[in-house]
């Protein structure tokens, strides 16, 4: 059992939480689609009951740990895009059950075609009513890892429509790998929008997602999101995975150095990316109750 962090949250909700052990079968066509496009939408990864139960505990932890108190107009483009609350699993044992869930980890492993995955980190990304757009970017620009086998699960905890900040992808863009030293900013928005046009990548997003649906995108897939034009918070929980066996690389920018310290617990470049913060998630033998996808 991993220790909880010093920011441990005392649960005030005590109902038993669903286990999330049962597998969600990913079809071969879906795996191929993910590999071709660098992203995939899966419906009903969680049932209505499951997502309702976890929404409550994730919300409680996210709002308790949130440190963003500035008014919207005082923030820069990144700050306007969302409330970003990270590694809830370290602080809350109920959220830990969600973040370390076998069901999500198995989907991540199946999409990447690997036997096992490790956790990189989680983050709640709550786009406030009136919240700004998320600029085009590549996640892996931030990560000092020697593998392209990385994937983010992005799961709304409430039903969302396209005008609430739907995640948007440039299909096929993961194949280009690193395209520039561009942190999330107005500059990345401009430069990468131009790049996407020049390469004719189709830009796609879902029109609606229900709570418990999820998208999965690869670390190099270009993605963005429009602002939240609704009156409701876009509550989204994300979990980032990488293939077990990956190694830590020498950081090539200050963000990677910060990530190496924070998400890899300061591991030395060259070592196996397997710190106490990166548990291997599929080691247990668990009874599988197959579920039919839509």
Ligand X SMILES: O=C(O)CCC(=O)C(=O)O
Residues paired with residue 176 on neighbouring β-strands, in sequence order: none
* Rounded Cα distance, 223 and 260, in Å: 23
H or E stretch at 152:
strand 150-156
7 is written with which tokens? Answer: 């920011």
Residue with token string 């599929």: 282
In whole angstroms, how close is the CB of 154 to ligand X at the nearest point?
5
* Rounded Cα distance, 185 and 182, in Å: 8
Among 107, 151, 218, 236, the residue binding ligand X under the rule CB under 6 A is: 236
Among 30, 152, 228, 278, the residue binding ligand X under the rule CB under 6 A is: 152
Q: Which is nearer to ligand X, 190 or 283 (CB)?
A: 190
Provide the 8-state DSSP code for 70: S
Span between the terminal Cα atoms of the chain, in Å: 35
Residue 188 touching ligand X (CB under 6 A):
no
**In what order do the strands lie in the sheet containing 223-225?**
134-137, 223-225, 168-170, 203-205
Scanning residues 214 to 233, which ones bind ligand X (CB under 6 A)? Answer: 223, 225
Q: Which is nearer to ligand X, 17 or 149 (CB)?
A: 149
In whole angstroms, how close is the CB of 50 to ligand X at the nearest point?
21
Residue 139 touching ligand X (CB under 6 A):
yes
Among 135, 144, 165, 212, the residue binding ligand X under the rule CB under 6 A is: 165
Provide the 8-state DSSP code for 45: S
In whole angstroms, how close is the CB of 28 to ligand X at the nearest point?
26
Residue with token string 């905890």: 157
Among 238, 242, 246, 281, the residue binding ligand X under the rule CB under 6 A is: 238
Q: Which is nearer to ligand X, 190 or 271 (CB)?
A: 190
In whole angstroms, how close is the CB of 59 to ligand X at the nearest point?
16
* Rounded Cα distance, 227 and 126, in Å: 11
Scanning residues 91 to 130, which ones bind ligand X (CB under 6 A)? Answer: 125, 127
> Which residues lie near ligand X (CB under 6 A)?
81-82, 125, 127, 134, 139, 152, 154, 165, 167, 223, 225, 236, 238
């Amino acid at each position: 059992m991993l220790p909880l962090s010093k920011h441990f949250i005392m649960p005030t909700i005590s109902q038993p939480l669903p286990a999330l052990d049962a597998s969600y079968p990913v079809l071969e066509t879906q795996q191929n689609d993910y590999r071709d496009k660098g992203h995939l939408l899966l419906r009903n990864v969680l049932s209505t009951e499951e997502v309702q139960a976890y929404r409550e505990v994730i919300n409680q932890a996210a709002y308790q740990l949130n440190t963003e108190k500035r008014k919207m107009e005082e923030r820069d483009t990144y700050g306007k895009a969302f409330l970003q609350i990270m590694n809830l699993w370290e602080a809350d044992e109920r959220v830990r059950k969600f973040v370390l869930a076998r069901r999500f980890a198995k989907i991540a492993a199946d999409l990447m075609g690997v036997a096992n995955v490790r956790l990189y980190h989680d983050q709640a990304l709550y786009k406030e009513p009136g919240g700004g757009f998320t600029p085009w970017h590549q996640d892996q620009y931030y990560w000092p890892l020697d593998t392209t086998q990385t994937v983010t699960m992005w799961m709304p905890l409430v039903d969302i429509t396209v005008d609430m900040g739907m995640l948007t992808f440039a299909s096929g863009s993961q194949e280009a790998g690193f395209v520039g030293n561009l942190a999330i900013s107005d500059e990345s928005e401009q430069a990468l929008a131009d790049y996407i046009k020049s390469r004719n990548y189709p830009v796609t997003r879902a029109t609606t997602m229900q709570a418990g649906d999820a998208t999965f995108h690869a670390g190099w897939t270009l993605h963005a999101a429009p602002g939240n034009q609704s009156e409701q918070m876009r509550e989204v929980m994300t979990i980032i995975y990488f293939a077990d066996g990956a190694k830590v690389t020498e950081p090539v920018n200050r963000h990677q150095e910060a990530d190496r310290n924070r998400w890899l617990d300061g591991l030395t470049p060259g070592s196996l990316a397997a710190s106490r913060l990166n548990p291997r998630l599929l080691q247990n033998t668990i009874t599988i109750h197959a579920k039919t996808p839509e």
